[in-house]
Amino acid sequence: MMYPFMTLDDETEITHSEKLANGRIKVYVEKADHKDGFHHMTCYLPDYKIESVYGFSQEEVNKYLNMIRFMNIY
pLDDT in tens, 9-61: 999 999 999 999 999 999 999 999 999 899 999 999 999 999 999 999 999 99
d(CA 45, CA 63): 16
Give the DSSP H or E segment for 72. Answer: none
Which pTM does this prediction carry?
0.90
pLDDT (0 to 100) of residue 7: 96
pLDDT (0 to 100) of residue 71: 79
Burial class (CB in 10 A: 0-12, 13-18, 19+), 3: exposed
For residue 72, the number of C-alpha atoms closer than 13 Å in the C-beta half-sphere is 1
Q: Report which of residues 62 and 72 the model is more confident about.
A: 62
pLDDT (0 to 100) of residue 73: 65
pLDDT (0 to 100) of residue 36: 85
